[in-house]
Chains A and B, each alone.
Chain A
Amino acid sequence: MRVVWKKQGVREAIAGYSFMAPTIIVMGTFVVLPITYALFLAFNKVRILGELSYRFIGFKNFIRMASDERVLIALKNTAEYVTIVVPIQTILALLLALILNSKIKGKNIFRIVFFLPTVTSSAVLTLIFMWIYNSNGLLNNFLAFLGLPTYNWLGDPAVALKSIMLMNIWSTAPFYMVIYLAALQDIPESLYEAATIDGANPFDQFVSITLPLLKPVTFFIVVMGIIGTFQLFDQSYIFSAGSGGPNNSTLTVVLLIYQYAFKSLDMGYAAALALMLAGVIMIVTLVQRYFFKEEN
């Protein structure tokens, strides 16, 4: 009896693994292997052009990070970006989802229009926005028409990062809106009916019923938002043509890693920076989890 059970179990296991084999092989080669290699590279001084050579230097790359001014600037830029974009993005997503969930006319059209930015590639969006942000472009003409001050959205260091923020909020809020929409539709109508009978107005209902029930979804959106914004690269790359300027104002951590890895060909240091970024994101996520769990 035992032998039969074992055989069938083993056969099922083999069948299961062979179905998973393509994914395991692909993920292993393209995800796990590079990560392990990057871990290895971070502790070496690597020369990659010409002859390939490694020199073990222990923690020197990480020590170098502490005194590198550009790392601090990149971290500061990224932190500023995260603290402004994530709350605005989340709130905007919630607002849009509430609009779509209510009983107004033209819901379907709104849904298409709201979701359009998400399905457009970020590179294309960046180029379109660069046209709009041009000193003689749409945005400045609009502001001048209203008598408001115009800015050099692309060339002024004080403003450049804000331009990217605006563009990013506009393009990622709809994606999170869809998640909120799904969660909103999950809330049973009976709760709202009971509240109305008890005499609660719409605002009270929102604060006491909707928000608490959306907490897990909010947690998810905030975490994903933070992970995503910490890794901002393509927009700041296109905006600054790879330089992170003007005056390091659009330099994000991933752009810095790109510059060290592919322009200076300093792979070891770039790998160390990547590890540092992963560490920072992990810490932030754990902190958030602690806060959300406590409130629960």
Chain B
Amino acid sequence: MKIEPLAKTLSLWGFLLLLVVTLTSCGFRNSPEGITITLSGWQSNPNEKQLLEQVLRQFEIQHPHIKVKHETINDQYMDVIKTRLIGDAAPDVFYLDAFEAPLLMKYGVLEPLNSYVNAQFDLADFEPTLLKAFQLEERTYGLPKDFSTLALFYNKKAFQEAGIEQAPQTWDELRDDSKKLTVDKNRDGRKEQYGFGLAPELSRQYFMMTAFGGRLIDRQENAAFFTSGSLKGLQLVIEQYRKDQSSAQPSDVGASTGSEMFGQGKAAMVLEGTWAIPYLQETFPKLEFATAEVPTVNGKKGTMAYTVAYVMNKKAKHKEAAWQLIAYWAKEGLALPTRKSVLAELGFVNNPLYAPFAKGADYATIWQSGETLPTILTHFNNQFISALIGEQSLRNALRKAQRSANEEIQSAR
């Protein structure tokens, strides 16, 4: 008598469990007519998402048996991707920044694309330095979809008010202009406008170091930036911040990025990338700004280049379909296209806003330097900020940063 109701309830729950399991497993199977591949990336602004969706829909029309599921990962993109790669749950195709590429290439989680590239696909059309960023030991792991360099953004109205006629051509001119452009109109001790907006990160300052012959790593990929060349280059930045007091970090004025600081009128000049152009046009439509090439440092032209590629997950199930997507994307691009033919065709060189970026591609330093760069970046940024706010001298900061970066690199080996 006692056992019967127990058996009944057990069988009822067992049946319900079975039902739930069957129903959930029925939902997400690929039907034989269609393949679904997953694409992940980050999103710089909502505009970009719309353009991306348009391109994806066009791709689906051209390839009727492939459906693309797009997912945006905005926060801590690389952490999420790495964790998913470990858990075998990564998307089939995803964005990869050149900066992070060496680590993933070395660990063998990306599919080499050499076998998919056939004669019709012209690899030589890609800007060689950008393509090289995604190649390791003769194998190509990604096709760079677009790139951006840094250029000087300046506020035309602020320039008029300060009586400056043209954008500064050399770094000394930039410092002089900054002093003129730093104003405290109501004399309350807090400046409303700084001449120059500063991004105190290695990713933005590296070209200052190379202008004086500095470099980041040595042959064994240890940190090697503590040289007199790097010191000279970075000293210019520190002096402008501390002595001239004509530059400011975004956090000093309550902004989160350089573009925001520039848009709010708190900085009259910033060095930013092509991503800033749609952001400024949408968020600060009344701002009158123009772009120019980065002023020469130590008589040399220089700027940074950042590029992003589409890469394929080695564990992707439908590799051929994923390749179709990558190949299709190699023809489009949302920043500046990496194919020389497309760049010329789309007339970027003649567009006044984009021209300085396109010209910068010739002499830009690409932001990538082996798999130890992320570690070097953390240590450098930490100490550089401390030197910037005057806690220690730049010499001490760089020496400490190099030593602690190398300690970490050594112990991780």
Q: Are A70 and B386 in contact (CB under 8 A)?
A: no
Give per-residue flags for A117-138: 1 if the beta carbon is below 8 A from chain B beta carbons, else 0. Answer: 0000000000000000011110
Give per-residue flags for A45-62: 1 if the beta carbon is below 8 A from chain B beta carbons, else 0. Answer: 000111100000000000
CB within 8 Å of A: which of B169-199? Answer: none
Give per-residue flags for A122-161: 1 if the beta carbon is below 8 A from chain B beta carbons, else 0. Answer: 0000000000001111000000000000001011110000
Taken together as a complex, chains A and B put the C-alpha atoms of A242 and B77 apart, in Å, by 12
Interface-centre pick from A64, A135, A157, A259 (highest chain B CB count, 10 A): A135
Give per-residue flags for B237-268: 1 if the beta carbon is below 8 A from chain A beta carbons, else 0. Answer: 00000000000010111100000000000000
Taken together as a complex, chains A and B put the C-alpha atoms of A152 and B385 apart, in Å, by 14
A64: chain B residues at CB < 8 Å are: 411
B381: chain A residues at CB < 8 Å are: 243, 245
A243: chain B residues at CB < 8 Å are: 378, 381-382
Q: Which chain B residue shows the least CB distance to A156?
A: B389
Q: Are B391 and A68 in contact (CB under 8 A)?
A: no
Q: Is A37 an interface residue (CB 8 A)?
A: no
Q: Are B86 and A246 in contact (CB under 8 A)?
A: no
Taken together as a complex, chains A and B put the C-alpha atoms of A86 and B260 apart, in Å, by 38
Q: Which chain B residue shows the least CB distance to A248?
A: B382
Q: Are A262 and B407 in contact (CB under 8 A)?
A: no
Q: Is A190 an interface residue (CB 8 A)?
A: no
Q: Are B391 and A247 in contact (CB under 8 A)?
A: yes
- Within 8 Å by CB of A246, from B82, B85, B382, B411, lies B382
Q: Is A295 an interface residue (CB 8 A)?
A: no
Taken together as a complex, chains A and B put the C-alpha atoms of A201 and B110 apart, in Å, by 76
CB within 8 Å of B: which of A28-80? Answer: 48-51, 64, 67-70
CB within 8 Å of A: which of B58-79? Answer: 76, 78-79
Taken together as a complex, chains A and B put the C-alpha atoms of A194 and B41 apart, in Å, by 72
Give, as a whole number of angstroms, the nearest-CB distance from B406 to chain A.
12
- If over half of B's interface residues share one DSSP class (helix, strand or loop), that class is named, otherwise mixed; here it is helix
User: Which bucket holds chain B's interface residue count?
Assistant: 20 to 34
- Within 8 Å by CB of A157, from B78, B389, B408, B411, lies B389
Taken together as a complex, chains A and B put the C-alpha atoms of A224 and B104 apart, in Å, by 41
Taken together as a complex, chains A and B put the C-alpha atoms of A50 and B381 apart, in Å, by 29
Q: Is B148 an interface residue (CB 8 A)?
A: no
Give per-residue flags for A208-232: 1 if the beta carbon is below 8 A from chain B beta carbons, else 0. Answer: 0000000000000000000000000
- Within 8 Å by CB of B254, from A137, A242, A246, A266, lies A137
CB within 8 Å of A: which of B363-412? Answer: 374-375, 378, 381-383, 385-386, 389, 391, 404, 407-408, 411-412
- If over half of A's interface residues share one DSSP class (helix, strand or loop), that class is named, otherwise mixed; here it is loop
Q: Are A152 and B252 in contact (CB under 8 A)?
A: yes
Q: Are A48 and B86 in contact (CB under 8 A)?
A: yes
B355: chain A residues at CB < 8 Å are: none
Q: Are B386 and A263 in contact (CB under 8 A)?
A: no
Taken together as a complex, chains A and B put the C-alpha atoms of A48 and B88 apart, in Å, by 11
Q: Are B386 and A49 in contact (CB under 8 A)?
A: no
- Within 8 Å by CB of B249, from A155, A248, A259, lies A155
Q: Which chain A residue shows the least CB distance to B108?
A: A50
Taken together as a complex, chains A and B put the C-alpha atoms of A152 and B86 apart, in Å, by 39
Taken together as a complex, chains A and B put the C-alpha atoms of A245 and B391 apart, in Å, by 14
- Within 8 Å by CB of A245, from B104, B253, B254, B385, lies B385
Given A248-B382, A264-B408, A264-B412, 14 further pairs, Cβ under 8 A? A48-B86, A49-B107, A64-B411, A68-B407, A135-B251, A157-B385, A245-B385, A246-B386, A247-B383, A259-B378, A262-B82, A263-B78, A263-B79, A269-B411
- B residues contacting A by CB (< 8 A) are 76, 78-79, 82-83, 85-86, 104, 107-109, 249, 251-254, 374-375, 378, 381-383, 385-386, 389, 391, 404, 407-408, 411-412
- Can you list 15 pairs linking A and B with CB atoms under 8 Å apart? A50-B108, A51-B108, A64-B411, A69-B404, A69-B407, A134-B254, A154-B251, A157-B389, A243-B378, A243-B381, A243-B382, A245-B382, A246-B386, A262-B83, A263-B78
Task: Give the 4 A-B CB pairs with smallest separation, nearest first.
Answer: A155-B251, A136-B254, A50-B107, A247-B386
- A residues contacting B by CB (< 8 A) are 48-51, 64, 67-70, 134-137, 152, 154-157, 242-248, 259, 262-266, 269
